[in-house]
Chains A and B, each alone.
Chain A
């Protein structure tokens, strides 16, 4: 068993809070009568619907056609009848076109995707299955996987990393997947390696999950080129850049992507989904969701059909035992607080956390004391106190010079601040303003060019 632990700078140690679900085997969440499947659950362009109200659909049938290069197909997670296609709210706060399907309870499968084996299919065919199955990054980022697995030819990839370090508190969905379906993860790893033509892969697991490390190491024993790596437990160990640095010592350049340093990172859940798609032809229609927090009656890890409402999932856990003050989609560090339970579980929903009043209590904000703790925990070695101070004053140019755009929004700074200052929030505002400013500048530059203005003339404009 490999145990190479390279730390990254900074990071925090929030309480894990995983004890209520880490030993709970995944249960099947009751499939609801109605599912609402968003046509955009990924980074990129939304799908166009392939069905209309009244159509009969099967489980796994493609109902959304991707648009553009960065997009991912969407499939029905039940068999039944399309009730309507309407705009609905998502856990991330956006409103997207959603296909509402009445479940007929039969789970009639669709067999559009032809399964195969690692040996019988070549790289191109394997990648095609990943694309057809609508697989996206399941660690929460929801980036279309087939795009990630198609780096441009000039980017030589030599390393694959499977991300099994679930560093968000409360969440145990990846942990349970590693304990209960290690073979899927290994198989998916091999598929990814074949698609990319890579001979070396690492499966990264935090040392707080020794059982998962043991099981996957045993499974990886005979596999050539696959090594299980034990990482120190720290947040955000699961962040892509930090993971790459910890395992390979390579730094993804500012503004760049992992492929710039020859690496591709995939969540273990994504690898398992790839394995099922290749072996059985099953597209991405369900995922493991951890339901936890002090307010839920029976914390569980559930296998949930995409499109199930948060309300139905929580009902599957016995509802709440005390009125939750906050409902989070995801974990407490980077999750999104919900104002309604009528949002669907999407491909990227890794957890639903219900906070009691005590858990949701926040300290009062006070003045910055310049202690510098935020700077010492930032995994990117930024100076959050300076970026935040500038952002709050509207000095976005100064914030840009301080590398605000490199912030990975992990929230470590806000967590550690003894004055409870809104560091992450102000940095997020700065990032938006900087990008908006750039868009405006680019637009005005192209205006100038198209109207034939020279630099000399530009100074006459406001």
Chain B
């Protein structure tokens, strides 16, 4: 008697998998990490590794404890670990990375249902918690060539937005573009981040909608209201984690809209919030909070931007 498999259509599937998508994100993030190690010293490599290990271990333990299937091989915890590290200052103590990664995975992701259910970007939400709990440690920047002497300094954005009363000169655009400036571990090298972003766009992991509208909106509002002129606004695009946030964080699948119109609205919303916080707020960086706020509004955006289906609105006789 011959036995054949009977299962429902379709009987073929794409070769692409969720883990491949996450792996692509990891690949895209590597250049920024390499530049950061080069500029800030090998200490950041340890921070990144500790962050990843904590994230993966946390996910493993929680899933085991909750008797759910262990999914650490989908690389999503690795991505969260990397992004958590990238949001910390280069001199951050190791336990900051551990607590941050733990909170990101346990609190923001697994507690709400795991992959696909986090309604906020896990790394950003954890960062916000760390910022509230350890404000000084989270905002102590170290200038690149002062790593050994650990002189704390300001990020270029802080200088521009006047929260640092030093008369230091702003770094050149080349320094900014390459990443030879003060800032979080992963946010400084714009060129490396853009290379990774191009990879993600080509691999169709992310859509252009959120990042492009986000950055464009921020730029336009900064030109109009920022008081730094056209060049200043352009220069600012490459500061403050905007590129990291726009391409790698705001595009997180579970916490961003699934409709095309919705994604544009999110981009614009993030842009407005970032510009407003930067220009009028007492805090030089608006990216994290902008994204988190738009994350929270995402379900509402999705609800009101459902596309018209084929044949809709044309009721026949």
* Same complex origin of A and B: yes
Segment at the interface with A among B7-15, B172-180, B219-227, B267-275? B7-15
Chain A residues with CB below 8 A from B314, complex form: 251, 253-254, 256
Whether A335 contacts B11 in the complex (CB less than 8 A), given A418-B18, A419-B18, comes out as yes
Q: How near does chain A come to B247, taking the closest CB pair, in angstroms?
A: 16
Whether A326 contacts B11 in the complex (CB less than 8 A), given A251-B311, A254-B309, A369-B115, comes out as yes
B67 at the interface (CB under 8 A from A): no
Q: Is the CB of B312 within 8 A of A415?
A: no
Q: How near does chain A come to B16, taking the closest CB pair, in angstroms?
A: 5
Chain B residues with CB below 8 A from A367, complex form: 71, 114-116
Q: Complex: how many Å from CA A111 to CA B4?
A: 42
Q: How near does chain A come to B13, taking the closest CB pair, in angstroms?
A: 6
Q: Complex: how many Å from CA A366 to CA B20?
A: 13
Q: Is the interface of A mostly helix, strand, loop or mixed?
A: loop
Contact for B309 among A15, A360, A380, CB less than 8 A? A380
Q: Is the CB of B10 within 8 A of A415?
A: yes
Chain A residues with CB below 8 A from B254, complex form: 369-370
Nearest neighbor of B1 in chain A, beta-carbon distance: A340
Q: Is the CB of B11 within 8 A of A381?
A: no
Q: Is the CB of A379 within 8 A of B311?
A: no
Q: Is the CB of A381 within 8 A of B9?
A: no
Chain A residues with CB below 8 A from B3, complex form: 339
Q: Mark B255-290, 1 if CB is under 8 A from A, else 0.
A: 000110000000000000000000000000000000
Q: Complex: how many Å from CA A381 to CA B309?
A: 5
Q: Which A370-406 residues sit within 8 Å CB-CB of chain B?
A: 370-372, 375, 379-383, 385, 403, 406
Contact for A338 among B4, B18, B310, B316, CB less than 8 A? B4
Q: Complex: how many Å from CA A323 to CA B3?
A: 10
Q: Is the CB of B310 within 8 A of A241?
A: yes
Q: Complex: how many Å from CA A29 to CA B11?
A: 26
Whether A418 contacts B307 in the complex (CB less than 8 A), given A337-B5, A372-B253, A375-B258, comes out as no
Q: Mark A407-422, 1 if CB is under 8 A from B, else 0.
A: 0010100111111101
Q: Which B55-84 residues sit within 8 Å CB-CB of chain A?
A: 71, 74, 76
Q: Which A252-295 residues sit within 8 Å CB-CB of chain B?
A: 252-256, 260
A115 at the interface (CB under 8 A from B): no
Contact for A368 among B16, B116, B259, CB less than 8 A? B116
Q: Mark A332-374, 1 if CB is under 8 A from B, else 0.
A: 1111111111000000000000010001101100111111100
Q: Is the CB of B6 within 8 A of A355?
A: no
Chain A residues with CB below 8 A from B169, complex form: none
Nearest neighbor of A324 in chain B, beta-carbon distance: B4
Q: Complex: how many Å from CA A326 to CA B116?
A: 32
Whether A414 contacts B13 in the complex (CB less than 8 A), given A253-B311, A254-B314, A324-B4, comes out as yes
Q: Is the CB of A360 within 8 A of B316?
A: no
B293 at the interface (CB under 8 A from A): no
Q: Is the interface of B mostly helix, strand, loop or mixed?
A: loop
Q: Complex: how many Å from CA A424 to CA B8?
A: 9
Q: Is the CB of A415 within 8 A of B258?
A: no
A31 at the interface (CB under 8 A from B): no
B133 at the interface (CB under 8 A from A): no
Q: Which A228-250 residues sit within 8 Å CB-CB of chain B?
A: 241, 245
Q: Is the CB of A337 within 8 A of B309?
A: no
Nearest neighbor of B113 in chain A, beta-carbon distance: A367
A44 at the interface (CB under 8 A from B): no
Chain A residues with CB below 8 A from B114, complex form: 367
Q: Complex: how many Å from CA A336 to CA B2?
A: 17
A151 at the interface (CB under 8 A from B): no
Chain B residues with CB below 8 A from A383, complex form: 258, 306
Q: Is the CB of B310 within 8 A of A251?
A: yes
A428 at the interface (CB under 8 A from B): yes
Q: Complex: how many Å from CA A328 to CA B6?
A: 9
Contact for A416 among B14, B258, B306, B315, CB less than 8 A? B14
A327 at the interface (CB under 8 A from B): yes
Contact for A254 among B9, B116, B259, B312, CB less than 8 A? B312
Q: Complex: how many Å from CA A12 to CA B13?
A: 11
B237 at the interface (CB under 8 A from A): no
Nearest neighbor of A311 in chain B, beta-carbon distance: B2
Q: Mark B291-317, 1 if CB is under 8 A from A, else 0.
A: 000000000000000111111101111
Whether A338 contacts B21 in the complex (CB less than 8 A), given A245-B310, A370-B254, A415-B12, comes out as no
Nearest neighbor of B6 in chain A, beta-carbon distance: A337
Q: Is the CB of A341 within 8 A of B2?
A: yes
Q: How near does chain A come to B39, taking the closest CB pair, in angstroms?
A: 33
Q: Complex: how many Å from CA A324 to CA B312?
A: 43
Chain B residues with CB below 8 A from A416, complex form: 14, 16
Q: Is the CB of B311 within 8 A of A418?
A: no
Q: How near does chain B come to A417, taking the closest CB pair, in angstroms?
A: 8
Q: How near does chain B come to A423, taking the closest CB pair, in angstroms?
A: 10
B17 at the interface (CB under 8 A from A): yes
Contact for A369 among B13, B116, B316, CB less than 8 A? B116
Q: How near does chain B come to A303, taking the closest CB pair, in angstroms?
A: 25
Q: Mark A424-435, 1 if CB is under 8 A from B, else 0.
A: 110010000000
A14 at the interface (CB under 8 A from B): yes
Chain B residues with CB below 8 A from A324, complex form: 4
Q: Is the CB of A339 within 8 A of B316?
A: no
Q: Is the CB of B9 within 8 A of A335?
A: yes
Chain B residues with CB below 8 A from A379, complex form: 310
Q: Is the CB of B6 within 8 A of A411?
A: no
Q: Is the CB of B11 within 8 A of A337?
A: yes
Q: Complex: how many Å from CA A251 to CA B18?
A: 34
Contact for B311 among A369, A406, A420, CB less than 8 A? A406
Chain B residues with CB below 8 A from A422, complex form: 8
Q: Is the CB of B4 within 8 A of A420?
A: no
Chain B residues with CB below 8 A from A411, complex form: 9-10
7 extra A-B contacts, CB within 8 A, seeds A255-B316, A406-B310? A253-B314, A254-B314, A335-B11, A337-B11, A338-B4, A372-B258, A414-B9
Q: Can you identify 18 A-B contacts, CB atoms within 8 angstroms?
A: A241-B311, A251-B311, A254-B314, A260-B316, A323-B2, A325-B4, A326-B5, A332-B11, A339-B4, A363-B17, A367-B71, A369-B76, A369-B253, A369-B254, A371-B21, A415-B12, A424-B8, A424-B9
Q: Which 10 A-B pairs have the closest CB atoms?
A: A411-B10, A372-B258, A256-B316, A253-B314, A254-B311, A332-B11, A253-B316, A380-B310, A332-B12, A337-B6
